[in-house]
């Protein structure tokens, strides 16, 4: 593109989930409740898996970090989104937009890989129980989680750098409720072929690797479960797998829909709905899907609440 006279963009305007004025306050309360439940649920998981001795296993270690990722993903998006429901001017600076995109990419990539790690953990636990402690040792757990965060950070730096290396001029209205790659590329007045290729290759590689790991792990898990003689144990195991696979399928489905399609085929309305689902709704549901139906976590929660209430009552009695 030839360089001419243009005004370089220094801030962006987010259109939000809906541009209808009469929906701003109702939507504010809806998403406030969703974010509140997300924070409460994921902080509960982080706390319980940190303080309860019965939850000091690799499965709950990975679950804790999934909760950290879910909490981070929602927190990067939701506060700014909630503020924009209450103000007339939905602006965000160039730097704020870059930071939001970078943070979102860190956590979304980390979640994709964390789901694969959790599937592998369950595969080893069910298919090779005698080797579980040796294969999934504390050192291996720390290594897998560290590599997940590191890879998410590196992917975020490369992708966000390619997006913000473009020139943005004239139009600065992002038709979305947060700074995401697709609406940002649509605004650029320079050639977007390189960042589009970077995004497509990165997203497809991450998703294909993660999906193959999950599918292969659960294929072997199902084969192992079918060999169990007790019908009650088989039913319990299948129920656990069904819940996990439902959440995984919804998460991967929205990401595949969002990113693994040509840029020209993007529908803004559909993209917004998909984004709401995997940035806000799924992080709210994950604590319930992965743990609140788990008897160990429910027991730990009861003990934690009882101990907290006893401590508060004891402190109040001493004060009196």
Cβ 94 vs Cβ 11: under 8 Å: yes
Asked if 31 and 79 touch (Cβ cutoff 8 Å), the reply is no
The 10s digit of each residue's pLDDT in 228-286 is 777 777 776 676 666 667 778 778 777 676 656 655 555 666 778 778 888 898 899 88
Q: Per residue in 36-86, pLDDT tens?
A: 999 999 998 899 888 887 888 888 899 899 999 999 999 999 999 999 999
pTM of the model: 0.87
Burial class of residue 312, CB neighbours in 10 A (0-12, 13-18, 19+)? exposed
- The pLDDT assigned to 239 comes to 65
Residue 17 phi/psi, 5° resolution? -65, -40
| Cβ atoms 85, 31 nearer than 8 A | yes
* 143/120 Cα distance (integer angstroms): 14
Q: Map residue 92 onto helix, strand or coil.
A: strand
pLDDT in tens, 155-190: 999 999 999 988 887 778 888 889 988 888 888 888
Residue 188's SS3 state is coil
Nearest to 119 by CA among 260, 216, 261: 216
Above 60 in pLDDT, residue 315? no
Of the candidate CATH numbers 3.90.1150.10, 3.90.550.10, 1.20.1070.10, 1.10.20.60, the domain formed by 11-319 belongs to 1.20.1070.10
Tens of pLDDT, residues 187-231:
888 888 899 999 989 988 988 899 899 989 988 888 888 887 777
User: Any bridge partners for residue 93, and if so which?
Assistant: 11
pLDDT in tens, 81-136: 999 999 888 888 889 999 999 999 999 999 999 999 999 988 888 888 888 888 88
Whole-number pLDDT of residue 293: 63
- pLDDT confidence of 314, banded at 50, 70, 90? low
pLDDT the model gives residue 98: 92
């Amino acid at each position: 593109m030839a360089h001419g006279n243009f005004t370089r963009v220094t801030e962006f305007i987010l259109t939000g989930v809906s541009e209808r004025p009469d929906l701003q306050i109702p939507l504010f309360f809806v998403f406030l409740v969703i974010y509140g439940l997300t924070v409460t649920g994921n902080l509960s998981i982080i706390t319980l898996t940190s303080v309860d001795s019965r939850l000091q296993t690799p499965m709950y270690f990975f679950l804790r970090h999934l909760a950290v990722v879910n909490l981070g993903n929602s927190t990067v998006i939701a506060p700014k989104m909630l503020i924009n429901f209450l103000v007339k001017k939905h602006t965000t600076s160039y730097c704020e937009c870059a930071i939001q995109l970078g943070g979102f990419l860190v956590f979304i990539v980390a979640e994709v890989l964390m789901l694969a790690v959790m599937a592998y953990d369950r595969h080893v636990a069910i298919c090779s129980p005698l080797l579980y402690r040796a294969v999934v040792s504390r050192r291996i757990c720390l290594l897998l989680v560290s590599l997940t965060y590191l890879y998410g950070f590196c992917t975020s730096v490369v992708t966000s750098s390619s997006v913000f290396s473009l020139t943005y001029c004239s139009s600065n209205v992002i038709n979305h409720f947060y700074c995401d790659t697709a609406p940002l590329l649509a605004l650029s007045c320079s050639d977007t072929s390189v960042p589009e290729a970077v995004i497509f290759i990165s997203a497809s590689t991450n998703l294909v690797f993660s999906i193959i790991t999950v599918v292969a792990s659960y294929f072997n898990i199902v084969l192992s479960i079918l060999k169990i003689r007790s019908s009650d144990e088989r039913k319990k195991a299948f129920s656990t797998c069904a819940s996990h696979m439902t959440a995984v399928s919804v998460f991967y489905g929205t990401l595949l829909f969002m990113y693994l399609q040509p840029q020209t085929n993007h529908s803004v309305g559909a993209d917004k709905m998909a984004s709401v689902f995997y940035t806000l709704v799924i992080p709210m549901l994950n604590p319930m899907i992965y743990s609140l139906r788990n008897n160990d976590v429910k027991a730990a929660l009861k003990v934690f609440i009882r101990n907290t209430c006893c401590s508060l009552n004891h402190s109040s009695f001493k004060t009196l």
